[in-house]
Amino acid sequence: MSGRESRIRLGLVFLLLLVLHFYVRPRFGDSRVAPDFLAMAVLLYALRSSPGDAAVVGLCTGLLVDALTPTRFGANALAHSVVGYLASWGRAVFFADNVVVTAGFFAVGTWLRNLLVLLASGTGGVDFLTQALFWSTLQALSTAACGTVLVVLLRGWLDIRILE
């Protein structure tokens, strides 16, 4: 597959995740537990790109989220760009082609992103601990489950090698 075709496919998956985030995610009930499809999109992009490119995509994605939550503007942009950079760098160093490792990749990426948002937005005290240890963990697990299913279903289409 050509590089252009690969980028188009990845862009279509990114658009699908954007639609899922704004149209399906609200129907999951509590947004603190629902899978974060935008974080999943940044992590999927990081699987296939350089750290700098992943950071730029993370920044743009974070700005999109920040535009919808102006009370803590910049927290999501910072968190998404750092997670995109670290995920792409970590994939190059540690990534194994395994379903369990892929699930862990999505879970750790989502949890770290939530932690960075909490820190950057100035959340403190008991609320910080509750969010970081309970709600972020639940959201990381739901995002990992959805992200792993997506990667397994689209592995051939996205040229991602996963061993089951």
Give the whole-angstrom CA distance, residue 161 versus residue 69. 36
- Of 59 and 97, more confident: 59
Q: What is the helix (H) or strand (E) element at residue 142, kind and residue range?
A: helix 136-158
The predicted structure's pLDDT at residue 160: 66
Helices vs strands, H then E, count in the chain: 7, 0
Long-range own/partner contacts, residues 20-29 (CB < 8 A, 24 or more apart): 28/142
Give the dihedral sign, CA 101/145/157/38: negative
The predicted structure's pLDDT at residue 113: 95
The predicted structure's pLDDT at residue 56: 96
- Of 80 and 162, more confident: 80
- pTM of the predicted model, to two decimals? 0.89
* 39-68 average pLDDT score: 92
82-139 pLDDT, tens digit per residue, is: 999 999 998 767 666 788 888 999 999 999 999 999 999 888 889 899 999 999 999 9
* 10-38 average pLDDT score: 87
